[in-house]
Amino acid sequence: MTLLAELNPAGALAGISATVSDVELRLGSSIGAAELRLSRESAHTLRVRLSDEEGTFISRLPADPDFDLLDLPLRRVRISKKEKAVALTFEDRRVSWMRGYDDPRMEYGTRTTREGFIYHLIREVKEGELSLFAPLSASRGSVSQRYPFSRGQGRLRENTWSCAGRLAAESSRRRFMVGDAMAFVSDAELLKRNPEREIIPRDTERFDFDLDSEIEDRAYLTIPSTGWSSPLGSTIRIVESGPADGVWIVHELRRNLRENNLFVTLVR
């Protein structure tokens, strides 16, 4: 089965066309919601809810379809049906690939670093070519020489995506996808980078923030999706906002594809 997104001139989702066994189905008004979420906290996801009055779509849906939304390759990981409503959840296909690699593996700090170990894991992926973005170079190291890096803990199996997340948390870093690259980097390292753009809150549709000395600061932007090009992990500078002025990291991008607004979460 082939799924294709159809966008209107404003960039909002107009429908999804599905070709199944030479029969083309068009889902336009039947789509109730379609939310795309790109995040540094989890795999990127697309959640679609639609009405399938005649049961045509659900009856022809194969077990494991892939779906490309513009430049984002997705794989369906969940489907649920309640009466005449169908909900589909897709995740970044590259993350799905990494979830398929869970054989136990261990290396010691005498032979590699934390970054080097993760690089070895993603190089196992055969479905596509992935890369690693980790500003802390292998030559500098990040732990004592005898520290054991492992995929899997004791009898508990662990896949590459989960393993990278655990190793990131252990070293005050985050792991997230930007295109075909897994970023493995701390917020402190990102905040050293030059901001990609400067934003004045009054020029946006909405700007809110929550500044807390005990946890990370967060700010929230609402802007037209066509006016945004900064990827996850990039930095921007907020000016003329008062206490929220300064450099922020792009942490999450969320959009209802039935609309044209983009909701941006920033952290620092």
Q: What pLDDT is stored for residue 136 in this prediction? A: 62
Q: What pLDDT is stored for residue 60 in this prediction? A: 74
Q: What pLDDT is stored for residue 66 in this prediction? A: 86
247-261 pLDDT, tens digit per residue, is: 999 999 999 887 888
% of the chain at pLDDT higher than 70? 84
Q: What pLDDT is stored for residue 263 in this prediction? A: 96
Convert 39-77 to b/e letters by CB count within 10 Å (16 or more is b).
bbeebbbbebebebeeeebeeebeeebebebeebbbbbb
Q: What pLDDT is stored for residue 10 in this prediction? A: 54
Cα–Cα distance for residue pair 160/268, rounded to 1 Å: 27
78-106 pLDDT, tens digit per residue, is: 999 999 899 989 999 999 999 999 999 99
**Position 112 confidence tier, pLDDT thresholds 50, 70, 90:** confident
**Position 138 confidence tier, pLDDT thresholds 50, 70, 90:** very low
**Position 15 confidence tier, pLDDT thresholds 50, 70, 90:** low
17 has pLDDT over 80? no
Instruction: Output the DSSP codes for 194-221.
Output: PPSEEE-GGGSSEEEEE--SSS--EEEE
| Tokens read off for 91 | 């995740």
For the chain, the average pLDDT equals 86
Name which residue leads in pLDDT, 145 or 48. Answer: 48
192-204 pLDDT, tens digit per residue, is: 999 999 999 999 9
| 23: DSSP letter | E
Cα–Cα distance for residue pair 49/34, rounded to 1 Å: 6
Q: Which range has the worst mean pLDDT, 23-32, 107-116, 188-197, 228-237?
A: 23-32
245 has pLDDT over 50? yes
238 has pLDDT over 90? yes
DSSP H or E run through 15: strand 13-20
Amino acid symbol at 158? E
Cα–Cα distance for residue pair 219/266, rounded to 1 Å: 5
Q: What pLDDT is stored for residue 147 in this prediction? A: 79
Cα–Cα distance for residue pair 74/251, rounded to 1 Å: 20
pTM reported for the whole predicted model: 0.84
Q: What pLDDT is stored for residue 227 in this prediction? A: 77
Q: Can you tell me the mean pLDDT for 144-157?
A: 84
Using alpha carbons, select from 62, 81, 84, 91 the residue that is nearest to residue 3: 62
